[in-house]
Structure 1
Amino acid sequence: MAERHLEIEQKYDAAADFVLPELDGLPGVASAGEPEVHELHASYFDTADLRLAAHGITLRRRRGGTDAGWHLKMPAGTDSKQEMRAPLGRPLVVPARLAGLVAAYTRGAELRPVATLETRRTVVRLLAADGAELAEVADDLVTGCGPDAEPERWREIEVELKGGTPELLKAAGKRLRKVGAKKGKSSSKLGRLLGEAVVPAQAAAARAAARSRIAAATSNGKGPGITTGEVVLAYLAEQVEAIATYDPKARLEEEDAVHKMRVAVRRTRSALRSYRPVLDAERTVPLGPELRWLAAVLGEVRDLEVLRMRFAEAPAFVVEDLEKREKAAYRRMNASLREPRYFKLLDELDRLILDPPLAGAADRKARKELPLLVTRAWDRMAKDYASIKSADDPDVARHETRKAAKRARYAAELAVPVLGVAAKRVVKDAKRIQEVLGGYQDGVIAMEHLGTAAKRTKVPAEAFALGVLYGKEQCEALAARDHLSTTWSQTLGPSF
């Protein structure tokens, strides 16, 4: 497992004759340590077309200093990056763990050296009264060499928080600017070196533009001018971006990351189904099976994760078995996320935003068309719900109703920016139906697992504990099932 931590820093450009000011007296700072000088050599890796740099990601192998090794930095918010580290290893072989974390961006393309940086770094540590390190100020003299370019030299100052507060970061920047430093031109040394060679990712730019268009139009009261196609594309753009964002988090097994990535996949698939009149089926229908496959890949991990949390107080052998199966499921998931099939799906999703296959309903006014499409999704759910009483297998009908409730929820969720409160109410009602049915379904799955576990144990105390858990799950499942009709009677349905 690669070492990781959250890096919070700000960069400033400085002239050659810049003099670092006194740094004590800043919020919480009692003293500044003696300057430490390090000679750093870094090789940066990217694809030939600089895909990582286009997304603000840097991958380097650095020698010298106190943190020699491989460093992968990915954006994590304003002035923040999630940094993963790995040992130095071999000079030209990117550690597999780090390469996997950027696979959603490289998509099988080779990672190779694209630039080198030589840095003479002078570090001053800002200390609290008890000696704890609050921040690190690095004065860097940099010589960079990119592909087919003359060496470039510059000076920059980095202020990185360690144990200090955001107020300290702000005050340090103010003091640096007061003596001549300027806010950095780029958030990374590599970005500054490569400059115009880095072309912003087209798909990411298209996603941002789609969201901005809807946000600006609705906030300025111009909602009536928005087309249905624009609203659908903005929603899809948000989900496609979420898939890429949660990909590395899921690989790192961050809490709830697999769940959120899976939800984004389901929302995408649901939107393509509910809004078929808006998008050309020739392009969108083939995406359905691929999105279903990806949801299943993520679902294996998520289902085991839910069971593990649900059975936290179960006998040790049950918990240990679930933990072992969950780890194996993560390995299978990571293998699937390295497949060309996954990369092709990501390419197609990007193309969906860059070159949208708009159909007839796309040009219609959103305020008129969206109510019809949301109502259609709700009516499908209502039809499935009505079938439960007469179904040969009510559990199958309940499962279909749950899936239809999700589709109705997501269809209304997409329409919220334009339809406002009325769509929010549909989201709330559909979610309530989904959750009641989900409670029943989760209980049924839990009982099946407990029944299997009971057959494997020969210890009476363990069998008794499993029986108690089974009874609890059965009661909760039946209560959820019986509560469905009450919940349904409390829903209002669409009223646009």
Structure 2
Amino acid sequence: MADTKREIERKYESDDSGLPDLTGVGGVADVLDKGLVELDATYYDTVDQRLAAAGLTLRRRTGGSDAGWHLKFPVAPGVRDEIRAPLSETVPDEIAALVRSRVRCAELVPVVRLRSGRDVRHLVDAEGTLLAEASVDAVTAERLVGKGGSTQWTEIEVELADDADPAVLDKVDKRLRKAGVRPSKSPSKLARALEQTGGRRPGAGRRAKPVTAGDHVLAYLREQREAILAYDPGVRRDVPDSVHQMRVATRRMRSTFRTFGAVLDPAVTDPIAAELKWLAGELGVDRDQEVLAERLTTALDGLPPDLVLGPVRERLTTWSNAGHGSARDQLIAVLDSARYLALLDTLDAVLADPPLLKKAAGKPEKALAKAVRKDFAKVSRLITEALGLPPGGERDVAVHEARKKAKRTRYAGEAAVPALGGPARSLAKAMKSLTSLLGDHQDSVMARRTLHELSEAAHGEGENAFTYGLLYGREEQRAASVEAELPGLWKEVTSGASV
């Protein structure tokens, strides 16, 4: 079974002088010689190096204390999450699933073999607690695909110990620099091996700065496509907030296709938008359940104990766990489906060869501003209609429709920020505040629906339904409060909108 470790390290160039004395640096009381370790790692990727292009590394390594399969995801400079699985001859299924959104139907093959002689030192404090591990690695790299080739180098690696203060690395860094040691120019051994044995490192190029309206729209769409791919492994691992962030990316992409129909041909993008709506819906089953459970649990926690009559908490927990389990199983099946992988392929294709219309070549200040203003006008109409309705189910539906259009306007503003600057940023911020308020209203609607269902189930089992009714009434009050606040907020939004 795979497990996860947060890896925080710094890499440096090394010469014949090796590792400077680090005693006394950052609380280091002693430097313990742990001897030489021989490591042999084979790195896997697709032939066109899709994992390397995304900054991911997948290896099978023998030697050392952590022999096995290692999949590393970049988190920040010098920080990676490492997923580990036991040693086997082929890529473990749980590891393969985490790179499926990148690999899809391509084959994972050996691309580089790295053999390292690692001279290890443990940096410990006065109590003997490990602060960091420093090593000097003599590396031999052999490329296994393409024209092949090999290279050698020596580097210093300093990795923070579990639960140690990251400030240790900063102090060690200062000492190494003072000794003339310089940081490595490559983010990983694999990146360096690929660059030195086959030319340019995958993913190293930069896109040209957006100029036209089409450039700006495509740049935003590429960001969202990358977000979908980046959050996919987190969704599979049940990482908090990953489902929400992946769902937001699908919504942003779909909204961008809709809003900028004068830039990208809707005849091509509408079917893609429909598939993105399907994916967002599948992601939403688990996310909506999570949000509702948290809202209802918080509300229940806020009640005095004498107002909680019957096994309300137990029933809520059972409902929450059952819903999450079934929704999660369905979601994983979706991410493994041919339909989802086909959607990813389609997104790649449309971004590689976009269906640009005539206005795509125009100045972004004109084309993007016009599209954003059009979306804002739709929000204005829907808000006005909702405020004109009496409280009740019809108004609830109208408020929800206004919220969806406000989200679309927010995303349009975000896409236009690089071209339009402050006005688009202000509009996006205002729409975020509006959707947050309207989202609270919609959450109240869904909470009341769930409370009604739970109360019926409780009543059917002969339980006291008083607490469900109390919570229902409080949710009604929250919705009424939102509706009372909406006119004032909308007035602020309209007075500040100037895209």
Please tell me the TM-score bracket, short chain as reference. 0.7 to 0.9
Q: Secondary structure of 2:446's partner?
A: helix
Q: Which moved more, 1:106-115 or 1:302-311?
A: 106-115
Q: Secondary structure of 1:67's partner?
A: coil
2:422 and 2:444 map into 1 onto residues whose CA distance is 33
Match of 1:474 among 457, 460, 476: 476
Shift of 1:234: 2.2
Q: State the partner residue of 1:10.
A: 10
Letter in 1 for 2:403: R
Q: Would the aligned equivalents of 2:44 and 2:111 in 1 still touch at CA under 8 Å? A: yes
Letter in 2 for 1:432: S
Q: State the partner residue of 2:125.
A: 128
Give matches, 1:92-491, under 5 Å: 92=90, 94-147=91-144, 149=148, 152-162=151-161, 163-176=163-176, 181-195=181-195, 197=198, 209=207, 213-214=209-210, 226-312=211-297, 313=300, 315-388=313-386, 389=388, 393-458=394-459, 463-491=465-493
Give matches, 1:45-56, under 5 Å: 45-56=44-55
Go from structure 1 to structure 2 and tell me whether the alpha carbon gap of 1:429 and 1:191 turns closer, same or farther (over 3 Å shift).
Answer: closer
Letter in 1 for 2:187: S
1:286 and 1:310 map into 2 onto residues whose CA distance is 35
1:19 and 1:377 map into 2 onto residues whose CA distance is 62
Go from structure 1 to structure 2 and tell me whether the alpha carbon gap of 1:405 and 1:61 turns closer, same or farther (over 3 Å shift).
Answer: same
Shift of 1:47: 1.8
Q: Report the aligned-residue RMSD.
A: 2.6
Q: Which stretches in structure 2 are left out of the alignment for 5+ residues? A: 301-311
Q: Which moved more, 1:474-483 or 1:124-133?
A: 474-483
Q: Would the aligned equivalents of 2:191 and 2:201 in 1 still touch at CA under 8 Å? A: no
Q: Would the aligned equivalents of 1:308 and 1:323 in 2 still touch at CA under 8 Å? A: no
TM-score scaled by structure 1? Answer: 0.88
Q: Would the aligned equivalents of 2:113 and 2:144 in 1 still touch at CA under 8 Å? A: no
Q: Secondary structure of 2:82's partner?
A: strand
Q: Would the aligned equivalents of 1:54 and 1:198 in 2 still touch at CA under 8 Å? A: no
Q: Which moved more, 1:147-156 or 1:421-430?
A: 147-156
Letter in 1 for 2:26: P
Q: State the partner residue of 2:39.
A: 40
Go from structure 1 to structure 2 and tell me whether the alpha carbon gap of 1:35 and 1:306 turns closer, same or farther (over 3 Å shift).
Answer: same
Shift of 1:479: 2.3
Deviations 1:348-390 (A, max 9, x none): 3233333332212212222233332211111112222333346
Letter in 2 for 1:424: R
Q: Which moved more, 1:285-294 or 1:133-142?
A: 133-142
Go from structure 1 to structure 2 and tell me whether the alpha carbon gap of 1:409 and 1:137 turns closer, same or farther (over 3 Å shift).
Answer: same
Q: Secondary structure of 1:315's partner?
A: helix
1:197 and 1:474 map into 2 onto residues whose CA distance is 64
Go from structure 1 to structure 2 and tell me whether the alpha carbon gap of 1:66 and 1:377 turns closer, same or farther (over 3 Å shift).
Answer: same
1:305 and 1:373 map into 2 onto residues whose CA distance is 34
Q: Which moved more, 1:345-354 or 1:128-137?
A: 345-354
Letter in 2 for 1:42: A
Letter in 2 for 1:124: R
Shift of 1:39: 2.5
2:73 and 2:471 map into 1 onto residues whose CA distance is 43
1:327 and 1:42 map into 2 onto residues whose CA distance is 37
Go from structure 1 to structure 2 and tell me whether the alpha carbon gap of 1:270 and 1:20 turns closer, same or farther (over 3 Å shift).
Answer: same
Go from structure 1 to structure 2 and tell me whether the alpha carbon gap of 1:331 and 1:200 turns closer, same or farther (over 3 Å shift).
Answer: farther
Go from structure 1 to structure 2 and tell me whether the alpha carbon gap of 1:386 and 1:46 turns closer, same or farther (over 3 Å shift).
Answer: same
Letter in 2 for 1:337: L
Go from structure 1 to structure 2 and tell me whether the alpha carbon gap of 1:450 and 1:26 turns closer, same or farther (over 3 Å shift).
Answer: same
Shift of 1:25: 1.7
Go from structure 1 to structure 2 and tell me whether the alpha carbon gap of 1:425 and 1:56 turns closer, same or farther (over 3 Å shift).
Answer: closer
Q: State the partner residue of 2:25.
A: 26
Q: Would the aligned equivalents of 2:49 and 2:202 in 1 still touch at CA under 8 Å? A: no
2:83 and 2:451 map into 1 onto residues whose CA distance is 38
TM-score scaled by structure 2? Answer: 0.87
Go from structure 1 to structure 2 and tell me whether the alpha carbon gap of 1:343 and 1:123 turns closer, same or farther (over 3 Å shift).
Answer: same
Letter in 2 for 1:414: A
Q: Secondary structure of 1:491's partner?
A: helix
Shift of 1:50: 2.1
Q: Would the aligned equivalents of 2:260 and 2:368 in 1 still touch at CA under 8 Å? A: no
Go from structure 1 to structure 2 and tell me whether the alpha carbon gap of 1:275 and 1:32 turns closer, same or farther (over 3 Å shift).
Answer: same
Shift of 1:495: 2.6
Shift of 1:287: 1.0
Q: State the partner residue of 1:218.
A: none
Go from structure 1 to structure 2 and tell me whether the alpha carbon gap of 1:369 and 1:142 turns closer, same or farther (over 3 Å shift).
Answer: closer
2:202 and 2:264 map into 1 onto residues whose CA distance is 24
Go from structure 1 to structure 2 and tell me whether the alpha carbon gap of 1:469 and 1:74 turns closer, same or farther (over 3 Å shift).
Answer: same
Percent of matched pairs sharing the same residue: 42
Shift of 1:150: 5.3
